[in-house]
Amino acid sequence: MKPKPPFGSSRRPNDRAHFARDVVIVTSGKGGVGKSTVAVNLAVALAQRGLAVGLLDADVYGPSVPRLMSLGGERLRWNEADRIACAGNFGVKVMSVGLTTPEADTPLIWRSSVATSALVQLLDDVDWGPLDVLLIDMPPGTGDTQLTMAQEVRGARAVVVTTPQAVATDDVRRAVRMLEAVNVPIAGVVETMGGDVFGRGGGRALAGAYGLELLAELPLDAAVREACDAGTPIAAVGTEEQRRPWSALAARLLEGRPPSQPEAAPRG
């Protein structure tokens, strides 16, 4: 067996996601802004374009991707090659620490060093196969998980998610500064939950302040919340009108793909 590389650094990151032509980190300094909703629906929208897409749920302490993708009954399993097999739904390969626990509400009472080692294992030991895009759904904050991804996944770029509220954009500004500090390029900003309740324009102002592209302004929509709760992403089951914003976001993200990365990974 090929020896695993030692841990990397933000200046010399490892290439643990070498199986993916494009790696996109969906992140935010704030919890509850819709990172997982964006990651799941963006993954489905990319898969609908014929791309091979993987989704890694990196939120160890609050994994929500299994619920959002109707995978709550799945548990970790190994394939014939003695590697961890991906779960999958809606055309997306999925891996989450949430698939390792005996019950959905079992807490993982881990120190951060154990949690980050587990995430590295989900990159190294999972049989992802060749992917066009690997999306990584991050936990909130600017801590160990974010630093680990910057150090272990070479060539990743970030999508930064925020709501319009100042209390959210304050935290997201810190996340932007962290990404700059650890040399992770930012593909752009996605504003969620825009409307009368949370206001409007916070994402646009944030993008303007840091010279970033505003990828999408997504309004607060009860149908999106209902689809999430049901484990059926709106990008998969919604009407054409409901799917359109996610398809547009996928297209914008692909427009910003580094030119060295081809359109599709080899199959077979």
Measure Cα distances from 69 to 43, 63, 95, 142, 241 in Å: 11, 12, 11, 26, 21
CATH code at position 187: 3.40.50.300
Contacts of 259 (CB under 8 A, 6+ apart): none
Question: Does a structural domain hold residue 167?
Answer: yes
In a domain, 243, yes or no: yes
Tens-digit pLDDT profile for residues 113-143: 999 999 999 999 999 999 999 999 999 989 9
Contact 132, 51 (CB under 8 A): yes
Q: Where are the alpha helices (DSSP H) in the chain?
A: 35-47, 65-68, 112-124, 144-152, 166-181, 202-210, 222-230, 234-237, 240-255
Residues 234-255: tens digit of each pLDDT: 999 999 999 999 999 999 999 9
Tell me how far the alpha carbon of residue 6 is from its chain's centroid: 24
The CA-to-CA distance between both ends of the chain, in Å, stands at 22
Quote the number of domains for the chain. 1
**Domain assignment of residue 129, yes or no:** yes
How confident is the prediction for the chain on average, in pLDDT?
Answer: 91
Structure confidence at residue 261 as a pLDDT band (50, 70, 90): low
214 within domain boundaries: yes
Query: Is 211 a domain residue?
Result: yes
Residue 73's Cβ-side half-sphere holds a number of Cα atoms within 13 Å equal to 3
pLDDT of residue 132: 98
Place of tokens 């590697």: 83
Per-residue pLDDT averaged across 211-228, rounded? Answer: 95
Buried b (16+ CB within 10 A) or exposed e, 202-218: bbeebbeeeebebbbbb
Helices 112-124 and 144-152 pack at an angle, to 10 degrees, of 30
Q: How far apart are CA 235 and CA 69, in angstroms?
A: 11
- Do residues 120 and 112 lie in contact, with contact meaning Cβ atoms separated by under 8 Å? no
Pairing of strands 87-89, 92-96: antiparallel
| pTM for this predicted structure | 0.91
Name which residue leads in pLDDT, 196 or 144. Answer: 144
13, part of any domain: no
- Residue 262 to residues 60, 248, 258: CA-CA distances in angstroms? 31, 20, 9
The residues near 61 (Cβ < 8 Å, ≥ 6 apart) are 107, 108, 110, 115, 139
**CA dihedral of 139, 106, 237, 138, whole degrees rounded to 10:** 10
Examine residue 11 and state whether it is found in any structural domain, yes or no: no
In-domain check, residue 264: no
The pLDDT of residue 258: 65
Q: 8 pLDDT band (50/70/90 cuts)?
A: confident
Give the alpha-carbon dihedral of 26, 31, 34, 37, to 10 degrees. Answer: 70
The proportion of the chain whose per-residue pLDDT surpasses 70, expressed as a percent, equals 94
Q: What is the pLDDT of residue 78?
A: 93
pLDDT, tens only, 168-193? 999 999 999 999 999 999 999 999 99
Domain that includes residue 152, residue range: 20-255
The CA distances from residue 53 to 48, 96, 112, 127, in Å, are 10, 15, 28, 13
Task: List pLDDT tens digits, range 67-88.
Answer: 999 998 899 999 998 999 999 9
Measure the CA–CA gap between 243 and 47, rounded to whole angstroms. Answer: 13
